[in-house]
Structure formats: structure tokens, C-alpha cells
Amino acid sequence: MYVIKRKEHSTPNEISYLSKDDQLAWLMDEYGDMVVRLAFTYVKNKELAEDISQEVFISCYNHLDDFQNRSTYKTWLYRITANKCKDVLKSWSYRNLQYKDFLQMILKSGAPTAEMKMIESEEKELIFQQVLSLPLKLREVITLYYYEECTVDEIAMLLNLNTNTVKTRLHRGRNSLKTSLKGSNIYEE
């Protein structure tokens, strides 16, 4: 059994004394939801995102001994997830097969009891749909910055980009979202 005090960014030394199986179990408990959420922002399909997360953790397990302690596990898993997603997006099967959109199912966790909760939920859904409609380069930085709360420097390291490139993509993503949301009551100048 593994017992580790929960932290935002865990270092490799904190779980290195565990067996490889326990390390993987801990990583899956700690970061499993994050990996699925990140994968979903790339592929826009719940089942495919879950499949990718399984591949991420298989890859993680296979390379745990090779982990070089240059970053946190969170950063390492972000990079593996982003790379797996990009591979899927480039694949023939993804580009040539159609799939049903499960966005509604993911975003709706139950019927709201108050009108304000319903309005807030609809607004969040609309914003998230607009984020998902952004081009991949803008979508990934917006998602990492706003939904996963990564810093600009962390995003630059994760995506292997210059920090100024990340800032530019964030700016362009915000402007694109602002333009697409102007027709709704969510964004007003």
C-alpha cells in the first residue's frame, strides 16, 4: 500500500521508494483525471481520451526506470499525453473515421436545482465548446493555462516552445474566444 501526502507537484524522490506497480498506481490515482481531461481537449471524444490515458500510463510504466528527474511527474505526464494525442490526431484512423461527440455527456453531471446553476452551467459549456473549436495550437495553451492552471513557463517546457510563443498563442486564443463569444451574453465589452 502506498501512502503519500498529496502535493500539487510531486517530485520523483517522493515515490521512488515504492515498487514499480505501486508507483504506477499512485500516479494513476494522482493524475489519471488530469490525463483524461487533457486528452479530451485534443481529441474531443471521451472514449478516445480514456484510451489515450491508458496508453499514457502503459508508456509511463514502461519508462518509469528511465525517468531522469528533470521535472515533476505532472510535467512528464503532460508531455507524454500531449505527444500521444498528437500521434492520434495525425493517424489515418482518426482523420478518416467519424465519431459521436460526447461533450454534452461529460459537461452535464446532473440536473441543476436552481436557475443560476443552470445558467452558469450553460455558460461554462458554451465557453468550453468555443475552446474546443479553436485550432489545436491555440486550444492546447488555453487548456493548459486556464483549465490545468499551468504557468507560461510550464507550458513552454511541456510543449517545447519559447515562452514568447506561448504568450502569443494565449493572446490569439483569448482574442479568438472573445470574438466568438461576443454574440452571447457571456462576453460584453
Residues 39 and 84 in one domain: yes
Residues 123 and 177 in one domain: yes
Q: What is the CATH number of the domain that holds 26?
A: 1.10.1740.10
Which DSSP state fits 91?
S
Domain boundary among 43, 74, 96: 96
DSSP string, 15-63: HTTS-HHHHHHHHHHHHHHHHHHHHHHHH--HHHHHHHHHHHHHHHHHH
CA distance 82 to 67: 17
Q: Sign of the CA dihedral 83, 149, 74, 1?
A: negative
What Å distances lie between residue 140 and 78, 79, 97, 104, 145, CA to CA?
Answer: 11, 12, 22, 20, 8
Is residue 101 one of the residues assigned to a domain?
Answer: no
Domain boundary among 44, 72, 96: 96
**Which of 108, 144, 149, 140 has the alpha carbon at shortest distance from 125?**
108
pLDDT, one tens digit per residue, over 171-180 is 999 888 888 8
Is residue 123 one of the residues assigned to a domain?
Answer: yes
Per the structure, the count of domains in the chain is: 2
Is residue 7 one of the residues assigned to a domain?
Answer: no
Domain boundary among 96, 123, 149: 96
Is residue 21 one of the residues assigned to a domain?
Answer: yes
Is residue 175 one of the residues assigned to a domain?
Answer: yes
Residues 21 and 85 in one domain: yes
Is residue 48 one of the residues assigned to a domain?
Answer: yes
Enclosing domain of residue 38: 12-96
- Amino acid identity, position 178: K
Cell of 95: 482523420
Predicted confidence band of residue 99 (pLDDT cuts 50, 70, 90) = very low
Is residue 81 one of the residues assigned to a domain?
Answer: yes
Lowest mean pLDDT among 4-8, 86-90, 164-168, 172-176: 4-8
pLDDT of 144: 87
Q: What is the CATH number of the domain that holds 145?
A: 1.10.10.10
pLDDT, one tens digit per residue, over 17-56 is 778 888 889 999 999 999 999 999 888 888 889 999 999 9
Residues 68 and 40 in one domain: yes
